[in-house]
């Protein structure tokens, strides 16, 4: 069977990915330079090995070429993260996801061809900051540098009014793409303009950050 995933670096982030993928029934090769980390994952991942992935021969011996998607979750050692990514790229791995420690690291990873660069601490910090600013902003997902999707709770200003009346698209340039109605289980993914909103309904809104920000200030 072709192995699906390898996770390099079994710290908090890599470890969490490894646990989730394994719990979903995926075949995961878990790799760390430290024996204690590897032992921790012996009964969790399909395979767990001790290896220093900055050594090209070690990578080859692991048969990493046969793995479709490799996640590099090496923490503080930025040099090891970059070197590992570079070699995975040279070995022709189909998909490489790498955790970046800072913006400089992210820039280098993009330059050397990492397919996906994630920045979990920064992104989670941003999401939490948005929910701290307003208790009605439940979640915030960045789509690009200047576009996002936000999840907001309808308050008094929206209660009893329709999307048409609120005129969100024309007034703020944002689109309400879905509504989770209070007291309803489902989610309405094609809300009509004449739908009446109620306090506690949850709106999923997409738009440019500056437009979302105006929308939040005036209506949420």
Three-state DSSP at 94 gives: coil
28-46 burial string, b = 16+ CB within 10 Å, else e? bbbbbbeeebbebbeebbb
- Determine if 38 is a binding residue for ligand ADP (CB under 6 A): no
12 binds ligand ADP (CB under 6 A): yes
Can you tell me which of 9, 30, 59, 106 binds ligand ADP, judged by CB under 6 A?
9
Burial 159-179 (b: 16+ CB within 10 A, else e): eeeebeebebeeebebbbebb
**Residue 207 lies near ligand ADP (rule: CB under 6 A):** no
Is 53 an interacting residue with respect to ligand ADP (CB under 6 A)? yes
Choice between 14 and 207, CB closer to ligand ADP: 14
Distance from C-alpha of 27 to C-alpha of 13, rounded to nearest angstrom: 18
Residue 43, C-beta contacts closer than 8 angstroms, at least 6 positions apart = none
Residue nearest to ligand ADP (CB): 75
**Residue 63 burial (10 A CB sphere; 0-12, 13-18, 19+):** exposed
Applying CB under 6 A, the site for ligand ADP has a residue count of 21
Q: CA 210, CA 146: separation in Å to the nearest integer?
A: 8
- The distance of closest approach from Cβ of residue 196 to ligand ADP in the complex, given in angstroms and rounded to an integer, is 46
Residue 115 C-beta: closest distance to ligand ADP, Å:
19
46's enclosing H/E stretch is: none
By beta-carbon proximity to ligand ADP, the closer residue of 121 and 200 is 121
In the complex with ligand ADP, which residue's Cβ is closer, 127 or 153? 127
Measured CA to CA, the distance from residue 83 to residue 78 in angstroms comes to 9
Instruction: Say whether residue 106 binds ligand ADP (CB under 6 A).
Output: no
Which of these segments, 28-36, 41-49, 124-132, 134-142, binds ligand ADP (CB under 6 A)?
28-36
Contacts to ligand ADP by CB under 6 A: 8-14, 31-34, 37, 52-54, 73-77, 80
């Amino acid at each position: 069977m072709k192995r699906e995933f390898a996770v390099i670096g079994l710290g908090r982030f890599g470890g969490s990915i490894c646990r989730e993928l394994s719990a979903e029934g995926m075949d995961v090769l878990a790799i760390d330079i430290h024996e204690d980390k590897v032992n921790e994952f012996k009964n969790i991942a399909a395979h767990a090995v001790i290896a220093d992935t900055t050594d090209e021969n070690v990578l080859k011996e692991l048969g990493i070429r046969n793995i479709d998607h490799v996640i590099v979750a090496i923490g503080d050692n930025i040099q090891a993260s970059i070197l590992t990514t570079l070699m995975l790229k040279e070995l022709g791995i189909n998909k490489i996801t790498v955790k970046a420690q800072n913006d400089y690291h992210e820039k280098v990873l993009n330059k050397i061809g990492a397919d996906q660069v994630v920045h979990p601490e920064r992104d989670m910090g941003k999401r939490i900051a948005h929910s701290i600013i307003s208790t009605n902003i439940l979640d915030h997902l960045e789509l690009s540098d200047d576009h996002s999707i936000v999840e907001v709770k309808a308050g008094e200003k929206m209660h009893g009014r329709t999307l048409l009346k609120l005129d969100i698209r024309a007034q703020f340039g944002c689109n309400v793409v879905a509504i989770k109605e209070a007291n309803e289980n489902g989610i309405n993914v094609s809300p009509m303009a004449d739908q009446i909103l109620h306090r506690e309904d949850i709106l999923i809104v997409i738009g440019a950050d500056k437009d979302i920000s105006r929308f939040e200030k005036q209506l949420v």
